[in-house]
Structure 1
Amino acid sequence: MSLQAGRRILREINSINHRFIKGMASQTGDDMEGLDPTQVELLAEQCIVVDEQDRKIGADTKKSCHLMENINKGLLHRAFSVFLFNSKNELLLQQRSDEKITFPGYWTNTCCSHPLNFEAELALDDNLGVKRAAQRKLEHELGISQDQVPLEAFQYLTRIHYKAPSDGKWGEHEIDHILFIQRDVDVKPNQNEVQSTKFVSSNELREFIDNSKVRGIKITPWFGLITQTFLYPWWKNLADIERFKDQETIHKLV
């Protein structure tokens, strides 16, 4: 895909997002009281609802997909997690802003979000839909421009199915597509999304996570699961990461 075509798709994505956000005004009420207005607007986005085999069965708002009352009834949606490494083989971490509705202030991998329910991000061939969503959110959350993270640079590895409550009301229940990418990028965080970032070596990450409880550092559950299960062997083999690709398996970690 050409850069011009990619930018056209991104403009279409942003236009669709804007229409969803405008529609959120009618959905805000007492249950949204005290939450950040920008984050509340994003709750109108249409996530892709899937079954346990990651087959689309419908769509619902980000709000509906993240309410524990719906999660406890089995509502499941598609997501992605990006792990971005620089040329020094260091991993970019982010600390989620305190304005986030789920897991505010938690440290996590580079970018974690959802493909949305429209054609560009529903595409399954070569995992193109989640890769387009990853481009979109890397720019939205971290200010990383599309040309710095071209679609062909993303490597899809596998999927995990997990469930995690954030508090009594909100949580996550996702089939999470894991994407690796190695690029040197310019990071300009959107403070409403990300309050801090840092690059770490694998040894630094081990120490960071091992000492997190003592230091009062919070780690997102999906990042913890991916780190415990997969991350370090993959990290050692960034030059040959494609051999770890597993298109068929969904690892159930709930």
Structure 2
Amino acid sequence: MSDYSKLVKALTKSEILQKWTEITPLEEVSGVPTSSGSTSANENVFEGHDEEQIKLMEELCIVLDYDDIPIGAGTKKLCHLMTNINEGLLHRAFSVFLFNEDGKLLLQQRADEKITFPNMWTNTCCSHPLCVPSELGTKGDDSADKNDLKTAVAGAKFAAQRKLYHELGISEEDCPISEFQFLTRIHYKSASGDESSKWGEHEIDYILILRTKNNIKVDPNLNEVRDFRYVSAAELKDMFEDKNLQFTPWFKLICETFLFQWWAELNQIGQFEDEIVHRLL
């Protein structure tokens, strides 16, 4: 176990809430999806960034402990600053891998406007469940255990459906909740760019597989997505050989450790489901 892993594992709920007083404890979360505070475009950390993307930094992510137990709500800004990540702040994410009937994977190139990892190619959709009942997996079920994996998976699927529409214009009809297949979780950390970057990711990422028809409508939000394409496994490997292309670190990690094995067995994808958090730190 790395020193960083030990740091994250050692952080208790009380220590997390004491260290980052901006976090709202889970039991006090109101269900409102954005922060009540303001995120000023004049803050130095946002200098030169897109106004719409700055506003999205007010969204409330699900702050976690090492064991993927929800602690509370923290703004996207709080969760993505490397100063906080380097001290162990961790949040929940999801990554969707959408395959069409031909077995091709839908990739997106993140927009230049993105604050983190701009212009990089990545999997179909990668984002964060909000700290609200539907995306915690507890909507309509007061007895649901927020610490239970099944509950968390349900929330991640709702978040994935929301973001597929927001980023790529894919309708709910083309990505019904029932068609998402949860596989596993990965835990990783990466700066956005070089190690001097102000921004980064430190996530437990829920991997979701989606099989769709060939003719689904994709209408990208250009503030989120610069380009998209469907690729075969061979075509993706060729893309990795192109030195002019950049890829998000989580996508590269997943490709290096899991993706091509999953891809070869798409019709039996359920065999890869597990309850493990794969630590790729």
TM-score (norm 1): 0.88
Choose 110-119 or 232-241, whichever is displaced more: 232-241
1:186 and 2:217 matched: yes
Please give the residue correspondences for 1:17-96 in structure 2 after superposition, counting only pairs within 5 Å: 17=33, 20=34, 23-25=37-39, 29-96=43-110
Of 174, 184, 200, 1:158 maps to: 184
Partners of 2:37 and 2:224 in 1: CA distance: 21
Q: How many residues align?
A: 234
Q: CA RMSD in A?
A: 1.6
Shift of 1:239: 1.1
Partners of 1:28 and 1:125 in 2: CA distance: 41
Q: Which amino acid is 2:223 matched to?
A: N
SS in 2 for 1:115: coil
Aligned-residue sequence identity (percent) comes to 55
Shift of 1:134: 0.2
SS in 2 for 1:158: strand
Please give the residue correspondences for 1:182-221 in structure 2 after superposition, counting only pairs within 5 Å: 182-184=211-213, 185-209=216-240, 211-213=241-243, 216-221=244-249
Partners of 2:238 and 2:97 in 1: CA distance: 18
Shift of 1:25: 4.7
Of 107, 125, 140, 2:150 maps to: 125
Instruction: Give the aligned partner of residue 249 of structure 1.
Output: 276
Partners of 1:21 and 1:196 in 2: CA distance: 30
Shift of 1:31: 2.6
1:60-111 residue CA offsets vs partner (Å, 9 max, x unmatched): 0000000000000000000000000000000000000000000000000000
Q: Which amino acid is 1:61 matched to?
A: T
Q: Give ranges in structure 1 of 5+ residues lacking alignment.
A: 1-14
Choose 115-124 or 185-194, whichever is displaced more: 115-124
SS in 2 for 1:24: coil
Contact 1:162/1:252 (CA < 8 Å) preserved in 2? Answer: yes
Q: Give ranges in structure 2 of 5+ residues lacking alignment.
A: 1-30, 138-148
Instruction: Give the aligned partner of residue 8 of structure 1.
Output: none
Shift of 1:212: 2.8
Q: Which amino acid is 1:99 matched to?
A: E
**Structure 1 59/22 Cα, relative in aligned 2: closer, same or farther at 3 Å?**
closer
SS in 1 for 2:134: helix
TM-score (norm 2): 0.80
